[in-house]
Structure 1
Amino acid sequence: MSRTFYVNGDFVAEENAKISVLDRGFLFADAVYEVSTVLKGKLIDNKAHLKRLARSMSELSMAPPCSEAEIEAAQLELIKLNELDEGLLYLQVSRGVADRDFAYPAKSKSSLVMFTQVKNLLNSPMAEQGLHVISIPDMRWKRRDIKTVGLLAPSMGKQAALDAGVHDAWMVEDGLVTEGTSNNAYIVTKDRKIQTRHLGHEILSGITRHAVLKFAAEAGYTIVEEPFTIEAARQASEAFITSASTFVMPVVNIDGVELGDGKPGPVSKQLRLIYIKAALEHQDL
């Protein structure tokens, strides 16, 4: 049985889910996206994802394809049709179809597509093992705060990590860590402060990042929103990443250097449990 996709107002079988070759998302990566977590058939922190989607569209002068309420109604119907209990819901808005021209078209209707993915999120084996990462140069454009589908550089980084026999890569610009290929990056200093890069055009304002930092502050941790170097990360007590698809995931090795005893540390473990508990109890975090 194939999945059901959503394409511009219609729910269709996966094999029938198609867009035009003139769609600007395909031709120019002129599109934005969001990935929302689904647990027990419920969307987690989805209002925050839709708010960020609206901001991304606004930053690119892209008209919404429909109202936020209509998007969420379609999301919920898609989850129901695919009987998704645990996994992810991918949503993409492009500027739509127009003859190929670099300038924004004077008239085009934004396109909206969505699909679901089954994924083991709550009991991921990697949460028990921890991730190994390498550092790579950050080759991306200068507006990483806009969640666009222009993901070739992060894909290259992810593949470089896999080719090196590790799980992911942390990107470095001007000697400082920006973020992971598809996640925000953190270290826990020797005095148990949680450090992560401040928001700006250099990184994506992660929805999970916002929730985890709030929970960490409530748990009594000091939050330091400042960039850090790879060397500082190698000397940290712990490190971890956050994203909608990983929640809080410990990092135990950076460029071949083990952190602590090479196992997930107590801070990342605690924050993961706090986040999961909150997500299961409250849809909006």
Structure 2
Amino acid sequence: MDHPSDLTMESGDGSNPFVRYVGSEVLLSLQNLRTDAETEPSFLITTQVNELLFKLAHIESVRARDQLEDDDVAGALRTLRRLRNVYTALNGSWDVLTSLSPTEYAEFRDALGEGSGFQSYMYRHMEFLLGHKVAMMAEGHRGHQPTYRDLLRSLGEMSLYDAALRLLWRRGLPVPRDSVERDWSEAVPPVREEIVEVWRTVYTEQDKYADVYLLAEALVDVAFDLCRWRNTHLLSVERLLGSKTGTAGSSGANWLRRVAEQRFFPELWAVRARL
């Protein structure tokens, strides 16, 4: 980290180099509040921070996927460690949001109109990259064609989990060919028994598959932290709204409860019952 005195130095054109690099003037001008409620800044700024963290999670997931495709398991493990720290930061953001009381949230909730976190396209990119391929989740963005096309591209790309399975396949483990050469945009069955058995082999023969075993546990760490984020989201909504409907017309807590039951990399969860 630069010394504080260095950050006060101007560049040749008279601008502050730190401000120019971070884009502070732009970032700090984006808090367009809609009410005078004293807690709306907490909600808006934390939500904006979450959007940036979703973007970072997507960037790191893409990097880990590509490293696995290049057979760079050590590099992917380093990237997944960073990714887990991103989810730690995301989970910590709920501490700010859950400090709001229901009456404080109600002071500005109506001003959100039809806006909802459900509509975050950066979150959808992140989910698609982690393997949760649900095509209809892109449909809410059809009205903005550049975003919609970008989501469809993301939907059609290999996921991080697909890359992990392709690595196992190249190592000679019996991953079915139709799991490693397919249309990446299509959803797959929640649990494929052949793949559960492959992971069981990895876990029971750790000495032989040491790096792949570490990869499996790193993926479960990521899935665990994201599931924790979803569950905390559910609890936070229940704390603020109870059984009210969501701002975009969803069923609110009931919808989030169903989402919280989903698991990323489900075969890595299923294998635990076989060990």
Establish whether TM, by shorter chain, passes 0.5.
no
Q: Which has the higher contact order (CA 8 A, sep 6+)?
A: 2
- With normalisation by structure 1, the TM-score equals 0.28
Question: Which structure features the higher share of strand residues?
Answer: 1
Question: Which structure features the higher share of helix residues?
Answer: 2
